[in-house]
């Protein structure tokens, strides 16, 4: 079956998943994650991509990105993958493939779909049983949204900024919002859209995206 054509319009958020090949471990230490984060930061600035959310799991990565130029997302992910694989292979005296083919992606509608997807990303370590509180997981955007952690590559979304009149109010609102359980149907839908390249949003939004591709 031919691959679904990837389309990432400028300004529309994209949920990206990058997995290790055959569930290969991507990060064996904090220094590995720091290296990946460094090249994500460097590439986001170079190719003009805003990073709104992330979680770096042991064998996969979730990102919520917004390209500001044509082809920006693909160029960022190609550069990031190439540089990290070279680093990882050199560090562990290995060769060959590290990532599972091309990255998976799904366009995400603004408003509740965007914030729900962001919560889904930050709650990955909780669902995986790694921590009970997302604040206990170092490598996600939760600490930035909920605790004000300074992260060089983070660009707070307009929707997040609208949650309160100042940092303290926004952080409190985010902590309260993440406490609410995600609907199981929505979790399944986010996963399905990301794995198949479908748009996460309303029928009207999907039609608008489809019109852009014709």
Question: What is the separation, in whole angstroms, between the first and last Cα of the chain?
Answer: 21
Q: What is the pLDDT of residues 146-197, one digit of tens each?
A: 999 999 999 999 999 999 999 999 999 999 999 988 999 999 999 999 999 9
Q: What's the confidence (pLDDT) of residue 2?
A: 44
Give SS3 for 64. Answer: strand
CB 113 within 8 A of CB 200: yes
- The alpha-helical segments, DSSP class H, found in the chain are 30-47, 72-91, 112-122, 124-127, 142-147, 158-161, 167-179, 184-196, 203-212
Which portions of the chain are predicted below pLDDT 50? 1-3
> Is residue 4 situated within a structural domain?
no
Q: What's the confidence (pLDDT) of residue 1?
A: 39
Q: Please state the pTM of the whole predicted model.
A: 0.94
* Number of domains within the chain: 1
Burial class (CB in 10 A: 0-12, 13-18, 19+), 99: buried
Q: What's the confidence (pLDDT) of residue 173?
A: 97
> Is residue 8 situated within a structural domain?
no
> Is residue 203 situated within a structural domain?
yes
Residues 6+ apart with CB under 8 A from 112: none
- The β-bridge partners of 211 are none
> Is residue 6 situated within a structural domain?
no
Dihedral of alpha carbons 181, 127, 105, 195, sign: negative
Q: What is the C-alpha separation between 47 and 160, in angstroms, rounded?
A: 23
DSSP state of 181: P
Q: What is the C-alpha separation between 47 and 140, in angstroms, rounded?
A: 22
Q: What's the confidence (pLDDT) of residue 214?
A: 62
Give SS3 for 70. Answer: coil
Give, in degrees to the nearest 5, the angle at Cα 91 between 48 and 20.
60
User: What residue numbers bound the domain in which 67 lies?
Assistant: 14-212
> Is residue 3 situated within a structural domain?
no
Q: What's the confidence (pLDDT) of residue 4?
A: 54
Q: What's the confidence (pLDDT) of residue 212?
A: 75
Q: What's the confidence (pLDDT) of residue 74?
A: 94
> Is residue 201 situated within a structural domain?
yes
Q: What's the confidence (pLDDT) of residue 5?
A: 59
Both structure tokens of 119: 């919560």
Which CATH number is 201's domain given?
A: 3.30.70.1290
Q: What's the confidence (pLDDT) of residue 130?
A: 96
Both structure tokens of 180: 């609410």
């Amino acid at each position: 079956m031919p691959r679904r054509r990837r389309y990432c319009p400028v300004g529309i958020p994209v949920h990206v998943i990058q997995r290790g090949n055959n569930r290969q471990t991507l990060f064996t230490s904090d220094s590995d994650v720091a290296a990946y984060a460094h090249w994500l930061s460097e590439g986001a600035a170079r190719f003009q991509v805003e990073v709104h959310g992330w979680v770096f799991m042991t064998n996969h990565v979730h990102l919520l990105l917004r390209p500001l130029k044509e082809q920006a997302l693909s160029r960022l992910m190609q550069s990031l993958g190439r540089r990290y694989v070279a680093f990882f292979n050199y560090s562990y005296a290995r060769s060959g493939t590290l990532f599972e083919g091309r990255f998976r992606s799904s366009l995400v509608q603004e408003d509740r779909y965007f914030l729900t997807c962001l919560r889904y990303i930050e709650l990955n370590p909780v669902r995986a049983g790694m921590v009970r509180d997302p604040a206990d997981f170092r490598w996600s955007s939760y600490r930035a949204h909920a605790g004000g952690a300074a992260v060089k590559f983070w660009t707070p979304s307009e929707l997040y900024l609208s949650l309160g009149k100042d940092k303290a109010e926004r952080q409190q609102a985010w902590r309260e919002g993440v406490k609410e359980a995600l609907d199981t149907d929505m979790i399944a839908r986010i996963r399905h859209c990301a794995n198949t390249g479908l748009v996460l949003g309303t029928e009207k939004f999907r039609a608008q995206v489809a019109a852009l591709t014709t």
